[in-house]
């Protein structure tokens, strides 16, 4: 028994030593490594067989989203190429083949930049320049100075007939509601105008004081601020064969004027009354956006203003309120018929005989006359100073006290003046 106990004391430690030594010795065979079940991130070693191309920026660690296998070399490599976080335009990356050698990628085909990329590269902190819009011909490229605030009658700059404008009509812009349309066969094309566009025609700006006469008759003066009508129509493509112009209101009221009544030499009288007018100054016709009595000009709806051929010419009827359309035509408005006389030419009458002058449109015209055989004009005496519905008592016959040679013509807005009639009357 003692011996068994002694053997156990020696044998047990010996067995333990053998077991420990056996565990420390290398194995005869290599145990096959089981495949990885989860994707693993591979951190590139400092001296990796695969080196990324040098770039200006430090590369991020490579990662793989696919399972890996163990080649014979014992190194771990992903089966697919590495997706490195390189810039979009960086050099081509290298991948490893089965032997561990670097295999350069094919160079990428150059890609034409898209519009978005070009725009992105051309972005600037400076605000973009405003788009260039077409301007009516003759418009200033620089803002002109503020219009004069004088109130003095302007000098007519339109003694010559309007020249034809062959330039294209200005394109409409979205700068406010349309207040005026210009059309007709005496302009190149129909054009529309907002108040802003009218006021932008700075070269055509006028401020004019007009003398006025109405059918009563009353004599007064008005100041208008606006654009020269001739200048405006030229911007709309005015043709040289224009013969008449029609002005139409929003309520349908209209008036038609002849070439001379729009483009001719018209006047404003500084001193204007039924007993006589003086201080005539030539003035242009305008389309006004501000008007009123002298010294009381205020913004209003647009309205045309015209001078006078003579102090008795009724021009207020042509100041069409709420103007919305201008029709420019090559058609003539015609002429007025000549006035008639109650005494035939070559007659002999006793002193004190009354001579009456007449016309089929007595309320629309004035009859200008002379008794001494001279040629009558717009400054000559007027036979019918008022209308039949205002002051008919002002239409009085002429009392003949001596032999006369009467010459007379009829004139009024809408048509050209009539031919001059001559009546020789002997008084006994």
pLDDT tens-place string over residues 4-17: 555 566 677 777 77
- Are β-strands 398-400 and 357-358 bridged in parallel, bridged antiparallel, or unpaired? unpaired
Query: 171 lies in a domain?
Result: no
Whether residue 355 is found in the same domain as residue 267: no
Query: 380 lies in a domain?
Result: yes
Whether residue 284 is found in the same domain as residue 348: no
Whether 312 and 382 have beta carbons less than 8 Å apart is answered as: yes
Q: Which is more confident, 1 or 189?
A: 189
CA 316 to chain CA centroid, nearest Å: 32
pLDDT band at residue 180 using 50, 70 and 90 as cut-offs:
very high
Classify residue 322 by burial, with Cβ atoms within 10 Å: 0-12, 13-18, 19+.
middle
Residues 128, 94: Cα–Cα separation, whole Å: 44
Split into its structural domains, the chain has a count of 2
Whether residue 287 is found in the same domain as residue 314: yes
Query: 288 lies in a domain?
Result: yes
Percent of the chain at pLDDT exceeding 70? 61
Whether residue 398 is found in the same domain as residue 357: yes
The pLDDT, as a whole number, for residue 233 is 98
Whether residue 264 is found in the same domain as residue 196: yes
Closest listed residue to residue 326, CA positions, set 408, 402, 262, 406? 262
Query: 92 lies in a domain?
Result: no
Query: 21 lies in a domain?
Result: no
Domain boundary among 305, 329, 353: 329
Tokens 């490599």 locate to: 77
Segment among 163-172, 355-364, 369-378 with least mean pLDDT: 163-172
Task: Check the CA dihedral 159-161-166-171 and report its sign.
Answer: positive
Residues 426, 428: Cα–Cα separation, whole Å: 7
Whether residue 234 is found in the same domain as residue 350: no
- The residue range of the domain holding 375 is 340-427
- CATH number, position 193: 3.90.420.10
Whether residue 259 is found in the same domain as residue 322: yes
pLDDT tens-place string over residues 192-236: 999 999 999 999 999 999 999 999 999 999 999 999 999 999 999
Residues 426, 197: Cα–Cα separation, whole Å: 62
Query: 223 lies in a domain?
Result: yes
Domain boundary among 329, 349, 372: 329
Whether residue 273 is found in the same domain as residue 354: no
The pLDDT, as a whole number, for residue 17 is 74
Whether residue 319 is found in the same domain as residue 360: no
């Amino acid at each position: 028994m003692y011996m068994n106990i002694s053997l156990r004391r020696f044998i047990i430690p010996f067995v333990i030593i053998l077991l420990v030594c056996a565990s420390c010795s290398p194995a005869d065979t290599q145990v096959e490594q089981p495949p990885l079940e989860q994707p693993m991130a591979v951190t590139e070693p400092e001296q990796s067989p695969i080196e990324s191309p040098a770039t200006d920026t430090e590369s991020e660690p490579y990662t793989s989203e696919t399972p890996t296998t163990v080649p014979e070399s014992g190194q771990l490599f992903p089966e697919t190429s590495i997706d490195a976080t390189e810039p979009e335009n960086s050099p081509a990356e290298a991948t490893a083949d089965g032997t561990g050698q670097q295999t350069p990628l094919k160079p990428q085909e150059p890609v034409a930049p898209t519009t978005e990329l070009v725009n992105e590269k051309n972005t600037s902190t400076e605000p973009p320049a405003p788009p260039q819009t077409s301007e009516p011909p003759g418009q200033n490229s620089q803002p002109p100075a503020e219009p004069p605030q004088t109130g003095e009658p302007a000098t007519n700059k339109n003694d010559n007939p309007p020249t034809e404008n062959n330039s294209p009509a200005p394109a409409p812009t979205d700068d406010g509601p349309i207040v005026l349309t210009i059309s007709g066969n005496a302009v190149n094309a129909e054009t529309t105008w907002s108040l802003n566009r009218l006021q932008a025609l700075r070269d055509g700006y006028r401020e004019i004081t007009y003398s006025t006469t109405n059918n009563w008759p009353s004599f007064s003066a008005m100041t208008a601020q606006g654009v020269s009508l001739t200048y405006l129509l030229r911007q709309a493509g005015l043709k040289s064969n224009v013969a008449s112009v029609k002005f139409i209101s929003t309520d349908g009221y209209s008036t038609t004027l002849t070439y001379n009544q729009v483009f001719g030499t018209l006047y404003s009288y500084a001193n204007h009354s039924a007993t006589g007018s003086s201080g005539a100054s030539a003035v242009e016709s305008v389309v006004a956006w501000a008007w009123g009595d002298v010294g009381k000009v205020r913004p209003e709806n647009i309205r045309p203003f015209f001078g006078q051929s003579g102090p008795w010419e009724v021009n207020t009827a042509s100041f069409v309120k709420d103007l919305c359309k201008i029709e420019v035509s090559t058609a003539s408005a015609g002429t007025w018929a000549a006035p008639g006389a109650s005494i035939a030419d070559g007659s002999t009458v006793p002193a004190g005989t009354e001579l009456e002058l007449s016309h089929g449109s007595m309320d629309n015209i004035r009859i200008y006359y002379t008794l001494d055989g001279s040629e009558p004009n717009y400054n000559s005496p007027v036979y019918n100073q008022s209308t039949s519905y205002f002051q008919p008592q002002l239409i009085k016959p002429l009392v003949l006290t001596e032999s006369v040679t009467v010459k007379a013509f009829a004139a009024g807005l809408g048509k050209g003046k009539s031919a001059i009639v001559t009546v020789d009357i002997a008084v006994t």
